[in-house]
Amino acid sequence: MSVNKLSIASIKSIPAAFGEVDIIKSITLLPGVSSGGEGATGFNVRGGAADQNLILLDEAIIFNSGHLLGFFSVFNPDAIKNIHLYKGGIPSKYGGRAAAVLNIHQKDGNSNKFSAQGGIGLISSRLLIEGPLEEQKGSFLLSGRSSYVHLFLPLAGVDNSIAYFYDLNTKFTYKVNENNNIYISGYFGRDVFDIDNLFDVRYGNSVANFRWNHLFSKKLFSNLSLIYSNYDYTLDFGLANFDWNLGINNFNLKYDFKHYLKNKLSLEYGLNSIYYKFDPGLINPTNETSGIQTKKLTDKFAFENALYGSVKFQLNPKINVQVGARFSSFLRLGQEFNEYKNDNPLIYYSDLKIYESAKAIKTIDYDIEEVIKSFYNLEPRISISYQLRSDQSVKMSYNRMVQYLHLISNTNSPTPIDVWAPSGRFIEPQLLDQFALGYFKDFKNSSYSLEIEGFYKDIQNRLDYIDGAELIANNAIEQVLLNGHARAKGIEVLMKKSKGKLTGWIAYTLSKSEQKTLGRTPEEVGINNGDWYLTPHDKTHDLSITTSYQISEKWALNTNLIYQTGQPITYPNAQYEFSGFSIPNYASRNSSRLPAYHRFDISAVYSPQKENKSFASGQWVFGIYNLYNRQNAASIRFQNNSDTGLNEAVRLSIFGIIPSITYNFKF
């Protein structure tokens, strides 16, 4: 239960903005999954934040899933085999995040013959080549994608600026013998922006995985993986004459076993060890006139280890059970640490109702070998399925998950320059407890299926930020943080038709996602007066209707209808004149909403039949995104109009109607 699988074929049939097939945007059409809006990086699962999703590409952790600031995802659809999204009942082999797991597998190369495929679109073009290695014992796959949208910027009156992305995917497989297989895969992606030499940013993920798959016997399989993953970025502020380089690296060892003991009884167990280096950056002047002096922010190091096991068995012919646990630990290693009076990095002034950072009384430089703070957690997981009839079942699950890394961000949706912070002396790990209950039914020989699931989740230690917290280049982030609490609940309905000329699904979610940060003592107000407030990713109603209709052998028609309650935001409830400015005074946090988000997309796919002797085949995709040109609000700003002197609300909408055309080929 709580698992969604999408084949790359069905993802490719979903109409997309600019015709750019997008894995992340397509999973937001599933129940319980939403996005922060057009141009927002990542996705939200069951009221969770984007940083609470574990995104794995061939087992490697992806820290930023967005290209061009989240308008597109970093996953090239040509190179992807399939995706699994775990929203609940998460298997014990996964851990480290407090909402969901998105597991993306790259395709294996074709081990029988050389072939190529690709596509030419409005934003980017793609090319993939694959083929056998050493007499079909192995295969390779190389895939590249690059955007060229910046070439059109001068037409839009934007000169001296670039904005593009590219990525490379690669995979090698090699069958050593019947019992041993080797897989090597890699990904490298970059985004590059330069606005008139004033502001230049480059960022991207790089990952590599070496995997050894071994069969001890017909009943015992193992997978040993050595994984490296990195996310880094460089900012160059031409205006202020300084640049800043930072990143997060990790080395990951996984050893997983799958053991079939007897019919309907199997075990999965293994271990996982990740070493992290967080490099918050080096700030450098770029010329002699810069007022900035070189400053290195303190590197942070941590070890995250886990042992896990689970057993799957049949209690009786109607009841199947999977029960397991993950024992995780997080060891924060030595670095330079601040010491504070009374161990308190954040002082509260009750008379003014404000938090202010405390001054460190001294700093202590610990050796990297020393463990400064350690956390140990047991994460039980259980899923039970009860077969009511052959076509009906009821399922329930409980899972605890622990998240030791936190994305430091106080914007409504994450940006590429947000940094990750490890748990430590002042930051507790996030603890999720999630319960889910579902009813599943197939109709008409599995042509139709209905899934209804309810969930409740509770997250301890969700970070929140004091008013005016400075998060950028902050070397003592503990001085602006408070530990809060989050909770979410909802009902998801998925009605699917998977056979026939017309296929598709209707997904509806009714949910609520809130958080609360109390003061640490009765005198403190906490955040938002210690009251519950809606998270920026709360969506009361979320409806998606996705259809695909095969008109003929050559033509298919795909549509998408989306309706979502507007994102919670904070409106002003007063204004005042102060020092020449008109200042808004705000109501309680996230107590208003953007207008509802909705749109209708359509695409037609024309696949001329491959001639018998033809070497290649092609496909045209004609799309219209946001057919009725709804001006959906990505944000609303409140400002004083300098011409009229009056206050006004200004809506920013990103994508209006967008026609697109893409040509895909294969040979």
**Alpha carbons 117 and 631: distance in angstroms, whole number:** 36
Q: How far is CA 277 from CA 228, 231, 299, 383, in A?
A: 12, 11, 7, 35
At 10, which helix (H) or strand (E)? helix 8-12
Contact 400, 418 (CB under 8 A): no
Binding to another protein in span 276-305, by CB under 8 A: 283, 291-293, 295
Q: Please, which residues have CB within 8 angstroms of residue 288's CB and are 6 or more apart in sequence?
A: none
With binding defined as CB under 8 A, does residue 163 bind another protein?
Answer: yes
Q: Give 389 or 637: the residue with its C-beta nearer to another protein.
A: 637
3-state secondary structure at position 78? helix
Burial of 169 (0-12, 13-18, 19+ CB in 10 A): buried
**What is the Cα Rg of the chain in Å?**
26
Q: Give the one residue of 654, 663, 665, 666 binding another protein; rule: CB under 8 A.
A: 654
Q: Give 511 or 592: the residue with its C-beta nearer to another protein.
A: 592
Binding to another protein in span 137-156, by CB under 8 A: 149-150, 153, 156
Token pair listed for 449 = 């299926």
Phi, then psi, of 129 in degrees rounded to 5: -125, 145
Binding to another protein in span 80-139, by CB under 8 A: none
Q: Give 343 or 577: the residue with its C-beta nearer to another protein.
A: 577
3-state secondary structure at position 121? coil
Burial of 325 (0-12, 13-18, 19+ CB in 10 A): middle
Report the nearest approach of another protein to the CB of residue 327 (Å). Answer: 36
Binding to another protein in span 463-492, by CB under 8 A: 467-468, 470, 472-473
Report the nearest approach of another protein to the CB of residue 36 (Å). Answer: 7
Stated length of the chain: 667
Q: Give 153 or 545: the residue with its C-beta nearer to another protein.
A: 153
- Which of 52, 16, 26, 27 has its CA nearest to residue 537? 52
Q: Give 616 or 650: the residue with its C-beta nearer to another protein.
A: 650
Token pair listed for 103 = 């597991």
Site string for another protein, 188-207 (x = CB under 8 A): -----x-xx-xx--------
- For residue 655, how many C-alpha atoms fall within 13 Å in the half-sphere facing its CB? 24
Q: Give 370 or 470: the residue with its C-beta nearer to another protein.
A: 470
**Alpha carbons 3 and 22: distance in angstroms, whole number:** 19
Report the nearest approach of another protein to the CB of residue 38 (Å). Answer: 9
3-state secondary structure at position 361? coil
The residues pairing with 195 across neighbouring beta strands, listed in sequence order, are 161, 199
Q: Give 605 or 633: the residue with its C-beta nearer to another protein.
A: 633
Pairing assessment for the beta strands 33-34 and 419-422 based on DSSP bridges: unpaired
Binding to another protein in span 626-645, by CB under 8 A: 631, 633-639, 641-642, 645
Q: Give 344 or 647: the residue with its C-beta nearer to another protein.
A: 647
With binding defined as CB under 8 A, does residue 563 bind another protein?
Answer: no
With binding defined as CB under 8 A, does residue 261 bind another protein?
Answer: no
Q: Give the one residue of 42, 109, 416, 422 binding another protein; rule: CB under 8 A.
A: 416
Binding to another protein in span 5-44, by CB under 8 A: 36-37, 39-40
Binding to another protein in span 505-524, by CB under 8 A: none
Q: Give 402 or 421: the residue with its C-beta nearer to another protein.
A: 421
Binding to another protein in span 565-604, by CB under 8 A: 567, 569-581, 583-587, 589-590, 592, 594
3-state secondary structure at position 81? strand
Report the nearest approach of another protein to the CB of residue 9 (Å). Answer: 28
Q: Give 195 or 321: the residue with its C-beta nearer to another protein.
A: 195
Binding to another protein in span 335-394, by CB under 8 A: 351-354, 356
Q: Which stretch binds another protein (CB under 8 A): 317-325, 333-341, 415-423, 615-623?
A: 415-423
Report the nearest approach of another protein to the CB of residue 593 (Å). Answer: 9
